[in-house]
Amino acid sequence: TAGITAEQTWSEYLAQQKAITKDLAAPRVLVVPQLHGNDLGVLAGRLANAAVSIADSPMRVASGAVLALGSVPKDKEGLPLPSAVRSELDKARFSVSQTYPDYPGVFWGDGNMLDAPASDFQVVEYLRLADKAARQVRPLLILRVADRRLNNTANSMAAAISAFMKPLRVMAKSTTFAGQVFPGEIESPKDGDIQLVWHTKTKVEVYIKIKPLNCPKDLTANIALDLSNDDSE
């Protein structure tokens, strides 16, 4: 979406932008306001960074500050982009840059998706994981077209499930490098995460469940002050 114009205040701009996404359900759509001029390019580069996984949020601070974002936008009153405006845009499901008080650099927020409120795909990393799993399993399904070795007997079903499970196990595999463990993209699949359902003698559907790892996005430190006077013997 467009950035702020020279004739708008931040409140006017917010009202204009919020109207775009209000009550809108648009699966697979992510909206980026061009506030600095290169916001969309920065997010695309963040998501295409080979140093991180598709399971990583563009919010990941350890990826470093964003580069070549553009100049800080100002409204018609000369007020630079406030953090409150970024926060409101994020709540309205836009994907915007992010700053932290007393922490240098500009980073990114969540890759918010415009899927329906009850959808599992509210952020881009969940959609990317599901897409990757689908791409991995699809050729295994094509390979079995009209192959009677896939049938509704127990041994055949078990063999097929084991084959479909393999790419998920690869996605779940962690890597250790320079003493650090880099987790897999999903949790290790378990029994029951893949189900085969025969609807007719010739039509079978595969149901696959993948589980992303936990990822901290809202961190709070709670500090207690201990003023007790402990006597040491």
How confident is the model at residue 77, as a pLDDT? Answer: 97
Q: How far is Cα 46 from Cα 199, in angstroms, rounded to an integer?
A: 42
Give pLDDT tens digits for 138-164.
999 999 999 999 999 999 999 999 999
Q: Which tokens sit at 228?
A: 């007790």
How confident is the model at residue 217, as a pLDDT? Answer: 87
How confident is the model at residue 211, as a pLDDT? Answer: 96
- Which helix H or strand E contains 46, and what residues bound it? helix 39-47
The amino acid present at 162, given as its one-letter code, is: S
- DSSP one-letter code for 94: B
Q: How far is Cα 22 from Cα 24, in angstroms, rounded to an integer?
A: 5
Give the list of residues 6+ apart from residue 29 with CB closer than 8 angstroms, or none: 113, 114
What's the N-to-C CA distance of the chain in angstroms? 69
Q: How far is Cα 95 from Cα 54, in angstroms, rounded to an integer?
A: 17
> Residue 199 class from Cβ within 10 Å (0-12 exposed, 13-18 middle, 19+ buried)?
exposed
> Residue 34 class from Cβ within 10 Å (0-12 exposed, 13-18 middle, 19+ buried)?
middle
Residues in the chain where the model's pLDDT stays below 70: 231-233
The total number of residues written for the chain in this structure: 233
Q: Write down the pTM of the prediction.
A: 0.89
Within a 10 A sphere around the Cβ of 12, how many other Cβ atoms?
A: 14
